[in-house]
Amino acid sequence: MRLATVGYEGAVRAGVVRDGPAGEPAVHLLPPGTTVIGLLAEGRAAQDQADRAAAAAPAVPLAQVRLLPPLAPPTVRDFVAFEEHVEGVRKSVSDEAGVPDAWYDAPTFYFTNPYAVIGAHDDVPVPPGSRVLDFELEVAAVIGREGSDLGPEQARDHIAGYTIFNDWSARDLQSREMQVGLGPAKGKDTATTLGPWIVTADELEPYRDPDGFLALALRAEVNGAVVGEDLLSNMGWRFEDLAAYASRGTAVRPGDVLGSGTCGNGGCLGELWGRGVSRDELSPLAVGDVVTLTVEGIGTVANRVVAGADPVPIPRARRRPRSRPATAVLSPRRNP
């Protein structure tokens, strides 16, 4: 199934996307009040029932709806599971060569902003103060069942489906703020594209390679020119591994989004800059540019860059002596 959330006739509706007789996809709207997160949480039986109901509903051409983010995720974890991307972007952002040895230990991730999620064809504003905007071609797994301390094989049953994930990145903000040892923070805070819909996990099982990875073809274009192509199966870990690690010592819950991290071979401009492609040859994204990402078995998203807001000034931190009142000095601890 392809589960979508759309804006139609002034309302937000969930629907099932099906191909029509001529091969053109259309949305079959589900009853008002139905949500994609709800269907994921209710499991396969509820999804099958919704699929049957959708088959009997009128088809609305995609041109007549606005594709919204397929769900409003409670959390968004973005991993960094492609070795080639780490190598290139590390050089671009911090001017350090190679891949840190710690990367191989576990699938590292950061939490990004669930309030910044946008739809498959929404405009993307330039982050305030940024002059070096970049895209990132990723695929995300969406959790359908709650679980804690899962093993990888258990975690497979907790993944309900997959969607395209574009982690828009302000490389200049990211490079500066990560010198503090935290981040990316505002380098990744303005927009994350999810879409065009969620493809349920069963639909992508035929793409698994002998090692259990999803061998989906990935392509990134800027203004119609291809700048990157890769296979999702070049990940260092499977999505089951990512979900298991995300659940360690905590819980994953329905609707949680787990980004794969950016693919290699031009999955973002930053990687290419780190490999010696100049910014004159391949410049940062500018107002009017259109980024199109296509993932085999899922679909295509295309977003146009538009002007963003000017940054509201915030003063630099003040410097002051570490004076303290005398009463603040702690007495030595004594053992009983």
Residue 330: its pLDDT value, please?
59
Spatial separation of the C-alpha atoms in residues 310 and 56, rounded to whole Å = 49
Rounded to 10 degrees, what is the CA torsion of 160, 164, 166, 167? 20
Confidence check: pLDDT of 336 > 90: no
Could you report the per-residue pLDDT of 13-63, keeping only the tens digit for each? 999 999 988 888 999 999 999 999 999 999 999 999 999 988 898 899 999
Confidence of residue 250 (pLDDT cuts 50, 70, 90): very high
87 lies in the same domain as 40: no
276 lies in the same domain as 169: yes
Please check whether residue 156 lies inside any domain of the structure: yes
Please check whether residue 199 lies inside any domain of the structure: yes
Identify the CATH number of the domain in which residue 104 sits.
3.90.850.10
Question: What average pLDDT does the structure give for the chain?
Answer: 94
Confidence check: pLDDT of 335 > 70: no
Average pLDDT of the residues in 175-194: 93
Please check whether residue 106 lies inside any domain of the structure: yes
Total of domains in the chain? 2
Domain that holds residue 105: 76-306
Please check whether residue 320 lies inside any domain of the structure: no
Residue at which a domain ends, from 67, 94, 123 = 67
116 lies in the same domain as 31: no
Q: Tell me the three-class secondary structure of the chain, residue by residue.
A: CEEEEEEECCEEEEEEEEECCCCCEEEEECCCCCCHHHHHHHCHHHHHHHHHHHHHCCEEEHHHCEECCCCCCCCEEEECCCHHHHHHHHHHHHCCCCCCHHHHCCCCEEEECHHHEECCCCCEECCCCCCCEECCEEEEEEECCCEECCCHHHHHCCEEEEEEEEECEEHHHHHHHHHHCCCCHHHHCCCEEEEEEEEEHHHHHHHECCCCCECCEEEEEECCEEEEEEEHHHCCCCHHHHHHHHCCCCEECCCCEEECCCCCCCCCHHHHHHCCCCCCCCCCECCCCEEEEEECCCEEEEEEEECCCCCCCCCCCCCCCCCCCHHHCCCCCCCC
138 lies in the same domain as 287: yes
Spatial separation of the C-alpha atoms in residues 196 and 5, rounded to whole Å = 9
> Percent of the chain scored above 70 by pLDDT?
97
pTM of the model: 0.95
Could you report the per-residue pLDDT of 225-249, keeping only the tens digit for each? 999 999 999 999 999 999 999 999 9
229 lies in the same domain as 96: yes
229 lies in the same domain as 126: yes
Residue at which a domain ends, from 67, 85, 111 = 67
57 lies in the same domain as 111: no
Place of tokens 């606005």: 66
Residue 321: its pLDDT value, please?
81
Place of tokens 């053992």: 335
Weakest-pLDDT range from 2-6, 31-35, 85-89, 325-329:
325-329
108 lies in the same domain as 212: yes
Could you report the per-residue pLDDT of 54-90, keeping only the tens digit for each? 889 889 999 999 999 999 999 999 999 999 999 998 8
Spatial separation of the C-alpha atoms in residues 56 and 52, rounded to whole Å = 7
194 lies in the same domain as 82: yes
**Alpha-carbon distance values, 332 to 22, 51, 294 (Å):** 80, 68, 63
